[in-house]
Chains A and B, each alone.
Chain A
Amino acid sequence: MKRCQLFPFLIALLVFSSCKKDFMELNKNPNTLERALPKTLLAPALTEIVKFNAKQAESFGNELMQVHIDMGGSNAKPYRYDIPTSLAIAPYNSWFLQIPNFRDIYSGALYRLGIDSLGHNKTYMAISLICEAWVMSLITDTYGDVPFTEAGQAKEQKFLPKFDSQESIYLGLFAKLEEANTLLKTNADFPVDEQAADPLYKGVALKWRKFGNSLYLRLLLRASAKSVSNAPAKISAIVLNTTDYPLIDNNDASAILRWTGTVPYDSPFATTKTAAWNTRGYTNFFINNLKLWNDPRLAKWVKKDANNQYTGVPSGFLPSDNPPKGSSRPNTLQTEPLLGNMLNYSEVQFMLAEAAARGWITGAAKTYYENGITSHMTLWGLTLPTGYLSSAPIAWKDTDNLEAKLEKIHLQKYYSLFFTDFQSWFEYRRTGHPILPQGNGLLNNGLMPARLMYPVYLQSSNGANLRDAITRQGPDDINTKVWWQKP
């Protein structure tokens, strides 16, 4: 070979080597998109959380609140108030990770609004606010003070978000829900080709508005012991003006992500193997009430035991007691569409019943109470048995004292919150209802945990802000009461 044949190659190589101008193009990620339209973000974020919540209800909320208990070999035993620190990680992480997705729906829709001024952009903005308020309320009700104003801003390099007080979070959530209600006045539904982007309401603005206001009602009630929330007056104002504050007023408007059985809208329990599904046994408390009331929901939710009986396990039993498992869950629940419940009509009715019983609104508590029961039966495709509402344990008595009334309302509400994230635990912490039996195997001095501890990893990833929050709120302990629980 001659030299002259080699040198051009060498020179070409040199020229190429010193070149980096293609690099900007080369390092453009072909696996991601720089922008996301609001319609692309909603379904994954919302569905992931609803699925997660149902799984958490199964493994944690339902145990604490004596719905059912894992009789298999699980190490965590929330039903015995044995709360390992590890349980605190998943809810915190899973909920917070969706906050940026909800927030980007708002900013994306606001940007679109500037371009096309179409009304349904406002609907997207409102949906973003409602979803964020919903998820943030779950987070703060579980942990107390958490990051809020500085949350979800990793993209802005905010890696150490400060923790806000629960009080300020609640006021912030109220503001978001007010804004959502205002935005939804436009009443602009999604265009037909975008309806699939909303697995909950198919982009119907009015339904979102009802959900937002019902959520507002839920949060007002939860903070009602705190004067700063001004809850009684606000609840009254909402109920008096349902034109401006429409609430969920029928089962169809309920916020339920109904599982269709088709991926991705399949129930999170659809893939659980039968043997694992059957390890959970219902409790005496859950079963005995339904038996006592001759409640048709019993047959819907509970599979009879080997002896063809409805039996449960006792509350907080000692491990050595080793009670038999008894009734477990029917396989139909594995694909049950209604386990995607977020906030249903009957809950709204029970909230109003409580407000009426407390004298904050003028309507009859009895009506709301009975509506709540009836509508929940209807929701589950059941007919209210004759005489159900007048039977002794159920029948409303205006002469009952407030505690007795609250017990009745909350006992029914407890069933209407079947598989609904941690709502019945939150309500129990607020009201002490329904009154749960206490077995002698309970740990934590028999005290219902008041919150979950912060995930341990925050000690290193956001230590200073975490310590500030603990100083403000009280020790990082399952018995430290959150703001709305504090006397």
Chain B
Amino acid sequence: MKTRFFNMKTIKNKVISGCMILLLLGCVPVMAQQQSAVVTGTVVNEKSEVLSDVTVMIKAELTDESYSALTDKNGAFIFKKLKAGENYEFTVSYIGYETTIIKKYLVKKNESNSVLVRLQPKSSSLDEVIVTTALGIKRQKRSLGYATTELEGSKLTSAMSNNWTDALSGKVAGLNLVRSNGGPSGSNSIILRGENNITGSNEALVVVDGVVINNGSGRVTGTGYKAQADADSPSDYGSGLNDINPEDIASVSVLKGPAAAALYGQRGANGAVIITTKSGSKQTKGIGVSFNSDFSVEQSYRFPKFQYEYGQGNGNAKYYSYNNSVDGASTKGTSSAWGPKFNGQLYYQYDPATQAGGITRTPWIGYPGAVEDFFELGHTFTNSLALEGGNENTQIRFSATRADNSWIMPNTGYARNTFNISANHKVNDKLRLSSNIIYTDKNSKNLPAVGYNNQTVMYWTAFMQPNAPLSWIKDYWAKGKEGILQNYPFSSNPDNPYLISYEMLNKSVRNGITGNIMVNYAFTDVLNLMLRTSLDYAYEARSQQRPFDTEKFKEGMYRTQNIFSQELTTDFLLRYNPKINRTWTTSFSFGGSTLKNRYLEDEIRADMLLFPNIYNLANAKNQLIAIPYRSNYAVNSLYALANISFKNYLYLDVTGRNDWNSVLATPSSTSNASFFYPSMSMSAIVSDMVKLPKAVSFLKLRASYAGVGSGRNVPYLTSVGYVAQSVYPGGLANPTTLANLNLKPLYTSSFEVGTNVRLFNNRLEFDVALYKSNTTNQILSAGLDRATGANSAIVNAGEVENKGIEVQVNGRPFKGTREFNWNVFATFSANKNKVLSMTDDLPELQLQSGPQGASAVIAKVGGSIGALYGIGFQRAPDGQIIYKDGYAQRTTQMIYLGNVTPTWKLSIGNEFRYKRLRLSILFDGQYGGSAFSMTHASNMTQGKIKETLPGRDDGMIGKGVIDNGNNTFRPNDVKAADISLYYESVGARENAEGNTFKTDFIKFREFNLSYDIPVNMAKRLGLQKASVGLYGRNLMIWSKWPQFDPEFGTLNNGTIDKGLESSQFPSTRTIGIKLSVGI
């Protein structure tokens, strides 16, 4: 096939003689001497991807006779019965692309006339961007009265992470990720636009090809344990959201406010993230195979600044002795490092060869780096193969991905297989069928336990002694007592970290299917019906095993959980798009859905084992304990949408939705179960309405109002029942979380105004949104005085106001050329949150509670829902810390320590392209947040970090004052008698203020360098296209946060808490390489 390449103004001519008369069926005959000819063509974009529905106009240059055609699914168009020997002019136009005109195209006789048209994206294409909005409805961005952000799939895969949602960081104004920080399967909560919902689910809705996955496979389920010193530790098993293969994602559309997500109803109250996966297309070149390979290495960094100057010992210890010796009593039992200075002096120390005290004295020296060296380099190897193809009526895409991960903690990681098939079939002009199915199989041999607990590795990091190298603890069993007695030479509080890694396993096998089947039927050109059934299904088998002689399980433990989750949704949408006239365009939609959610979890426990090292339920020493849980709920909904546009520059959307949610039904009433809410939004393209200064290329104003009700998605909060006490035959107890018999839906009303303005021929773009939302009747879980007999109660309470601004800036400092292009983008968001009212029942709500109860997140009227309170320093009126006997004094009252939510977030990205080389760099940061750090407290009280070095030899006089007792103060001049007690007075976990730090940071978030191999070279390799890339993630953090990542979350049973850090895992930086080929 001959092709001719046409650039914007390139025209090629050929003249051939001889023409024939072309007679069109039913048309008037024209010039009798001319011959008829056929012109076929294909329209592609700048990436050589075919474009369908492109308008191609052809006009004979002499006669002005013209025809038009649309390209089909394969980007192909055809004009039959043209006149050979005549010159034609092609006009090819498509939204988002520069209109391309091909002049003087000479149609040849008896020859296949074939044209390849390559469209270049319009620099000012933003006004015609197509956005996937709620319910999957595609709209022109200019018509929307609310803020959205769109990301191409490639933005998510250019620098891969274990959890693809990490790639959203810094790219969407107003998006906040709360990470569980829980290992290779770590979950993220996506929070959009502040927190209008004090507790409970304030995560954004996540929709994959029309399937909502939050509450099915996307549900984060806890192991029933809290992050701090509980009977066992939680592990993050991740959720189906992690398992989506980012290579399958075509685009992500982020709908931030309630107005945007109004059609998703109660579940969209916190915004929505809409993921569209790739679908197949007919191949014009090659065989439609693409292959991606990605290898990345993950390295831990930003460890606490451990000290290696003083060794193990209690306060003011003058010597060291492992076991009692002639030097003195044993000092091996303490967890602290307040012992003697390392001067190479000789002491009786641990002898790893005998696993006992050495019989000779050995030099007293520090062994720097033990904790750092415990962590390995993590690596992830991902290979993905996609096949696509089809014809005019049927297109299919299939992809298979395999990811193998080994994480930074020894013996942890996962392997994941993902298969995705997407099919489209046009049965006839009216009926179209499509289906998209994702199957995931994830297998984790061991996932780390998180939190501050004897059985976690991160707990151990604060207990390791500076006078011991890692090699001393690598043999984690006592010699000759393998499997029965663990070996850990120092304080008995932690378990040996190698024992934790290699023996205390948390396993998981998860199989999930997320998919839908959709039928589209076009009754007429203007009336269309969509019917769809979506299924989100997952089955997971988990187990936990603990060997003998561990901190919490002296005789071992084995537990299994079978977890089944299923959400089945059937919905329809009837769309009517009557054409009124050129001025007015309307569209009406009416839809409904019915959703059923089912969740089953069966846990079996053998909390003591008969024989060591055998992990099955037959090995239970006692009767097995069964802990079953079941839940069911349903939501039925009806909704309608009307879009009216005037002259394509004024747009109005009105929506209404009613939800019936079973979780709000009580044993005697369903009156609270139904709720209705409306939304209205407007968009005006001012630049099309009035003449603006030349500098302004585009100006859009938008405004919206939305009301959204929500009943949350947790069933059984409306009736009180006794809870089975599984270890006691026939045992029951009152619930510790109290239900609310009159639970009402919460209601958020939100106003938003915004503008999109583009200046200097579209080289600078601002998108600004201002919003204010008020949420009433919050459904909250509030901590109670336990004297009530319950831990917490579900209440309808309060009104919370959120006000904020989101700004997105795009710019092209240099006018792009074919050779060089530079794009800059930046996002800024700020949110202010205020509690306007509370309930009479509870004037203050304790939303989260920190370690040792010394700190808490408390909502009070006039305050914020992220307000952190805690015990702090006693201070003189001038703010100086009060000391007594040399030690800092603590308050008895909780004081305000800061806000766990940052005031603002900022990101700046740069993209450079030079010929085939692309470089992108992203920095982001946040300001104004604070958090409590348990890791810091633990390292302070145990003398493990450099911060505890001052005053070790010659005592410490804390900077502050002494209370004279008569409201006067004098400077502190008393030396603390015991240096360990001094640091405890300023840094113990009970002193929340002493361990609260700003979480402000700047991160070098992403770096990506890629090169497209020239087509000729690729062809020689038998490839259609190929590219290679090098990338990095989280390469640097600049922050005052004392260790690791200031952007942490704490996995606490089934939720990810903010602001209260409890033995976080190390922050990691990732460097990877990526290869993509197309065949």
Contacts and interface: CB of A to CB of B under 8 A. Distances in A.
Interface stretch (B94-102, B247-255, B623-631, B926-934): B623-631
A386 interface: no
A335 to B, nearest CB: 11
Given A23-B670, A460-B858, A157 B732 contact: no
Contact of B670 (A16, A21, A275, A318): A21
B665 A158 contact: no
Nearest to A14: B592
B789 A75 contact: no
Interface stretch (A144-152, A220-228, A405-413): A144-152
B786 A84 contact: no
A179 interface: no
Contacts of A24: 665-670
Contacts of B722: 32-36, 40-41
Which one of B318, B852, B853 has the greatest number of beta carbons of chain A within 10 Å? B853
Contact of B788 (A27, A151, A263): A151
B638 A17 contact: yes
Nearest to B571: A13
B333 A31 contact: no
Given A28-B719, A459-B893, A459-B894, A319 B853 contact: no
Q: Name B's interface SS.
A: loop
Contact of A320 (B315, B629, B860): B315
A14 to B, nearest CB: 6
B789 A151 contact: yes
A72 B309 CA distance: 22
Contact of B324 (A19, A47, A324): A324
B785 A276 contact: no
B860 to A, nearest CB: 8
Contacts of B329: 322-325
A404 interface: no
B292 interface: no
Contacts of A306: 323-324
A28 B667 contact: yes
A462 B784 CA distance: 8
A158 B788 contact: yes
A270 B572 contact: no
Given A29-B716, A460-B846, A84 B733 contact: no
Contact of A27 (B485, B486, B716): B716
Contacts of A1: 427, 431, 519, 521
A312 B335 CA distance: 21
B555 A160 contact: no
A56 interface: no
A325 B731 contact: no
B636 A20 contact: yes
Contacts of A325: 329-330, 333
Contact of B628 (A17, A31, A155): A31
Nearest to A162: B787
A458 B531 CA distance: 54
Interface in A473-487: 476-477
B673 A279 contact: no
B650 to A, nearest CB: 33
Contact of B849 (A153, A197, A271, A457): A457
B871 A85 contact: yes
A: interface residue count bin: 35 or more
Contact of A18 (B335, B523, B636, B785): B636
Nearest to B665: A23
Contacts of A119: none
A457 B853 contact: yes
Contacts of B572: 10, 13
B: interface residue count bin: 35 or more
A482 to B, nearest CB: 16
A161 B842 CA distance: 11
B719 A31 contact: no
Interface stretch (A89-97, A202-210, A229-237, A285-293): A89-97
A40 B331 contact: no
B721 A29 contact: yes
A279 B333 contact: yes
Contacts of B903: none
Contacts of B990: 84-86
Nearest to A163: B787
B473 to A, nearest CB: 13
Given A160-B842, A325-B329, A456-B853, A32 B723 contact: yes
A39 B729 CA distance: 11
B978 A17 contact: no
Which one of A19, A93, A154, A276 has the greatest number of beta carbons of chain B within 10 Å? A154
A45 interface: yes
Interface string A69-85: 00111110000000011
B856 A460 contact: yes
B637 to A, nearest CB: 7
A276 B892 contact: no
B334 A23 contact: no
Contacts of A99: 787, 789
Contact of B783 (A20, A41, A461): A461
Contact of A461 (B491, B720, B785): B785
A162 to B, nearest CB: 10
A263 B731 CA distance: 13
Interface stretch (B128-136, B366-374, B734-742, B947-955): B734-742
A159 B788 contact: yes
B693 interface: no
A222 B239 CA distance: 56
A141 to B, nearest CB: 15
Nearest to A104: B734
A20 B733 contact: no
A24 B574 CA distance: 31
Which one of A35, A152, A160, A456 has the greatest number of beta carbons of chain B within 10 Å? A456
B791 A97 contact: yes
Interface in B778-794: 782-791, 793
Contacts of B669: 24
Interface stretch (B184-192, B397-405, B545-553): B545-553
Nearest to B842: A159
Contact of A85 (B785, B845, B854): B854
A36 B728 contact: no
A152 B978 CA distance: 44
A3 B523 contact: yes
Interface string A428-441: 00000000000000
B603 to A, nearest CB: 12
A296 interface: no
B823 interface: no
Interface string B507-550: 00000000000010101000001010000000000000000011
A457 B846 contact: yes
A147 B785 contact: yes
Contacts of B789: 96-97, 99-100, 151-155
A319 B980 contact: yes
A34 B554 contact: no
Given A75-B941, A456-B856, 5 more contacts: A17-B592, A23-B634, A34-B720, A154-B784, A324-B328
Interface of B: 313-318, 323-324, 328-331, 333-336, 427, 431, 463, 485-486, 488, 491-493, 519, 521, 523, 529, 531, 549-555, 570, 572, 574, 592-594, 607-608, 622-623, 625, 628-634, 636-638, 660, 662-670, 673-674, 715-716, 718-725, 727-736, 738, 782-791, 793, 841-846, 849, 852-854, 856, 858, 860, 869, 871, 892-894, 941-942, 978, 980-981, 984, 988-990
The 3 closest A-B pairs by CB, nearest first: A73-B335, A32-B721, A324-B329
12 contacts: A23-B662, A28-B716, A31-B724, A33-B732, A47-B728, A92-B787, A97-B736, A153-B788, A264-B728, A306-B323, A319-B314, A461-B782
Interface of A: 1, 3, 6, 9-10, 13-14, 16-24, 26-36, 39-41, 43-45, 47, 71-75, 84-86, 89, 92-93, 96-97, 99-101, 104, 146-147, 151-155, 157-161, 196-197, 262-264, 270-276, 278-279, 306, 318-320, 322-325, 453, 455-464, 476-477
